Structure 1
Amino acid sequence: MLSALLFDLDGTLTDTDKLHLVAIQQLLWEEDQRPFGEEDFEALCSGRANPQMCALLFPDRDLAFHRAFADRKEARFRALSNKLEPIAGLTTLLAYAQDKGIGRVVVTNAPRANADHMLGALGLQQAFASIVVAEELARAKPDPLPYLTGLQRLQANAEAAMAFEDSIPGLTAAKAANLYTVGLATSQSEATLVAAGADLVVEDFNDPRLWEVIQNWPG
């Protein structure tokens, strides 16, 4: 039976890419009047942990600069996201999982401060057994370690678990952990998510196809 649901955070529990884009745009303009668009964000930032993102944004700057920029970017994001809305159908799915005894965990490349802030802004602090912060592990997504850690914390096997992701690094990580993975089409096209390995792509958690998979697991 289905025993575990593993959720990415940004773009999966709530659509935050636009806020992250605005935060980066503002800081890059303040730094050196550098323009930065949606295509740049998708190529360099979406789904990436901060060390990966900063290495791509500033290949010629040192680690101290990368860390300082990442801290400024996340503080700016938190200032822009005092109130967040869950993706449609999320609270229904979480209530169903609670009723059925299905474990829930967040697996994110976001920093701990962001994860705590976002779950608070969503009112979901108590909805998950644990928050796996990839930057606190030896390797972040696209490595499978964050998802393997999430399974370990829920004491679940991959064959009885489902992951939800919206980015290519996240999908890569989830599939490498042998998870059935649902792609949320919040930041990437359906074709891109399928090409990255998504078993199913949905617009939100109300999709009847998702509920058919869940209720007929392993189907």
Structure 2
Amino acid sequence: MLNALLFDLDGTLTDTDQLHLLALQQLLLEEDDRVFTADEFEAHVSGQANANMCRYLFPHRSVAEHEAFADRKEVRFRQLSPQLTPMPGLVRLLDFAREQGIGMCVVTNAPRANAEHMLQVLGLRERFETVLVAEELPRAKPDPLPYLTGLERLNARADSSLAFEDSIPGLTAAVKAGIFTVGLATSQSRETLLAAGAHLVIEDFNDPLLWQQIERMLGARP
């Protein structure tokens, strides 16, 4: 059966990692004269909640200082992203899900302001009744709670759902929630995503392998 689609946001609905990296690079250089590399971003920041990011970047700073830096970073990100493009095939999938009566929600570690900004810029805000953000839940990805909450909101079961993720923390969360998880090779390699537990890896939402999986799950409907 297929009754629900749960989407990460950054790197999944739209490719934003380079903008997040640039925002961090600019701020760290301006404020600390610190050079921040793409490799460091991929290893320690991509897909993480801001609290984890700041603990890595500034282990000796206070929580208040972490929150202030995270706010500055997200403001910079929004300034750098006045225009965003949906991942190829995404609108096709959303249209199909709506026609089939399949529930959809966003599950993201991004703060609420970023999530609303990105969905609005993408023209997708009205597509999702539910947008779950980590800062409003007790635990963020890689904990499965965000995805378990998404299933609850959609009144769906894990074995009748698909999750879409591009990062290791997000992938870990969705897999732990028991959902068939599709990795998008935007921020990580196919091999890395498979090693982390992805059930399927695609380049974008037009991938025939994704549509074969959807047809298999739809064919199992009673």
SS in 2 for 1:5: strand
Match of residue 21 from structure 1: 21
Structure 1 residue 135, shift from structure 2 partner: 1.4
Aligned residues with identical type, % of pairs: 66
| Distance in 1 between residues matched to 2:75 and 2:9, nearest whole Å | 17
Match of residue 4 from structure 1: 4
Structure 1 residue 101, shift from structure 2 partner: 0.2
TM-score (structure 2 length as normaliser):
0.97
**CA distances 1:53-102 after superposition (whole Å, capped 9, x unpaired):** 00001111111110000000000000011110000000000000000000
Structure 1 residue 32, shift from structure 2 partner: 1.3
Structure 1 residue 189, shift from structure 2 partner: 0.3
Match of residue 202 from structure 2: 202
Structure 1 residue 175, shift from structure 2 partner: 0.5
| Distance in 1 between residues matched to 2:66 and 2:150, nearest whole Å | 27
After TM superposition, list the pairs within 5 Å mapping 1:70-219 onto structure 2: 70-217=70-217
Match of residue 34 from structure 2: 34
SS in 1 for 2:99: helix
| Distance in 1 between residues matched to 2:197 and 2:23, nearest whole Å | 29
SS in 2 for 1:72: helix
The answer as to 2:40 corresponding to 1:47 is no
Structure 1 residue 215, shift from structure 2 partner: 1.1
Structure 1 residue 200, shift from structure 2 partner: 0.3
Match of residue 69 from structure 1: 69
Unaligned runs of 5+ in 1: none
Q: How many residues align?
A: 219
Name segments (4+ residues, structure 1) moved above 3 Å: none
Unaligned runs of 5+ in 2: none
| Distance in 2 between residues matched to 1:28 and 1:195, nearest whole Å | 32
SS in 1 for 2:139: coil
Structure 1 residue 128, shift from structure 2 partner: 1.0
TM-score (structure 1 length as normaliser):
0.99
- The one-letter code of the counterpart of 2:143 is D
- The one-letter code of the counterpart of 1:179 is I
